[in-house]
A and B are shown apart, each in its own frame.
Chain A
Amino acid sequence: MILIAAAMMGLIGLVFALFLVTANARFAVEVDPRIAELEERLPGVNCGGCGYASCAAYAEAVARNGEKIDLCVVGGDDTTRDVAHVMGVKVSDEQKDKLVAVVFCQGDSEASAFPGVYKGIPDCAAAIYSQDVAKRCKYGCVGLGSCVESCPFDAIHMSATGIPYVDAEKCTACGNCVIACPRDLIELHPLKHDAFVYCKSLDPGPIARKVCKKACIACNICVKAAAADDNPDAVSVRDNLARVNTRNYSAKPEYGAKCPTQCYNSNRNLVNKEAAMTRIAAQRRARAAAVEA
């Protein structure tokens, strides 16, 4: 009895094994071994910052179509070097500045006028489409946290007063929140740069001031301060809004010392900046030491 049972199970197993062996030979898929290796080196968070749907898709594009190797913003220079190693190409040792997301609005519940309460779908874009935003300012943060939802790294959060703030330690500049914000209030800028105008309102001064205490009223004080510092192209005013030059990042926080609405200041929607800067400096030192050794 036991023998028959064993023999029959063995037989069944054998038949299926043979069947699978044939099927495997028939349906074998050729895979570039570099793809698996690249996937292993990539962060694997599938944030989409490189423009591909997933890390696997990016790995495939690099190995198969010769896509650029430095598109992974999350892994940064280290990952670029790993990818270059797998692909057998050389990269320069130049360091890229760490970017973080910057939220260009300070219209929180204290500064901004909120005439009503929004009770629709909890999504910023939905609120805008339904013309139903609670906040008066039509350029400011809607405050429903679509950017928070979009972040795969848990790096952006809502403050108690309703404006998102970014964790510099966790932010990888993948750009998901930049896309998620229906009012284009989030941009990626170097961590070390301090001075920005935290407002995107194009309303003329009197209106802007009425809807938000911290709106830019285009008073030109920061422009004059920059001119006095012999740095005239650091800040400019266009369409009722002061803008910091983001091509050369030459603006200094001091230019905002006399800003009447405090919209020009040093980075306020950011936490853990010091920790992130220290960590990056330490990493660079370690890498420099490794290169020398």
Chain B
Amino acid sequence: MSIVVLILSAAIVNNFVLTYFVGICPFIGVSKKIDSALSMGIAVTFVMTITAIVTWIINRFILIQFGLPFLEYVSYIVVIASLVQFVEMFIKKTSPALYRTLGIFLPLITTNCAILFVALLHTMRGYGFIESVVFGIGAGVGFTLAIVIMAGIREQLETADIPRPFQGAAITLIVAGILALAFMGFSGLLSA
């Protein structure tokens, strides 16, 4: 499978948020402003890429080598938790403002299922090293794309005249559903 097809597949056609419905919590939680949505997307993309690299190495040289495939989940969780800790330290040091904007959602990347999903999926599909890395980047880009689009719509919704029963969480979920429908339009593009 060529790299371009893989990245397109992960980012758009099989968008993690809008097709597989993983990583919904930050997708709803941090999509109020485009700025913070974009930084969340970048943080998730970073963690996803590094996770893909490290988990591929662990899978290839430890789990397969020693015949321990059942340790997949446990070891991947350890990897993700450590990486998120690292990203948190890094952001706290380099950008306190961003650190405050992301707030609780930064440590919550740990439990962002989209990241574990990347690790599990590249193992399951038996991707090579380059493919795994590209897959991680593509998935991250897809997540960023989805969350930024969502934030853009929600910024417009702020001033919209929404019927009372639909205000707040209800309209957000409806918008997410319509967005997912729209992304279904890409499904004929590739078969991967």
Which of B70, B92, B159, B161 contacts A27, CB < 8 Å? Answer: B92
With CB as the reference atom, state the residue of chain B lying closest to A123: B159
B125 contacts the other chain (CB 8 A)? no
The tally of CB-CB contacts under 8 A between chains A and B is 51
B78 contacts the other chain (CB 8 A)? yes
A5 and B159 contact, CB distance less than 8 A: no
Given contacts A19-B86, A20-B86, A123-B159, contact A8 B92 (CB under 8 A): no
Interface size for B (C-beta < 8 A) is: 22
Alpha-carbon distance A64/B86, docked complex (angstroms): 27
Which of A8, A24, A126 contacts B62, CB < 8 Å? Answer: A8
Which of B74, B93, B159 contacts A9, CB < 8 Å? Answer: B74
A13 contacts the other chain (CB 8 A)? yes
B68 contacts the other chain (CB 8 A)? yes
What are the 10 closest A-B residue pairs judged by CB atoms, nearest first? A16-B82, A27-B93, A27-B89, A121-B159, A23-B86, A5-B68, A4-B66, A12-B75, A8-B62, A23-B89
Interface residues of A in 1-53 (CB under 8 A from B): 1, 4-5, 8-9, 11-13, 16, 19-20, 23-24, 27-29
Alpha-carbon distance A121/B74, docked complex (angstroms): 51
A contact residues, range: 20 to 34
- Interface SS majority for chain A: helix
B20 contacts the other chain (CB 8 A)? no
Which of B78, B85, B93, B161 contacts A29, CB < 8 Å? Answer: B93
With CB as the reference atom, state the residue of chain B lying closest to A57: B100
Alpha-carbon distance A24/B90, docked complex (angstroms): 9
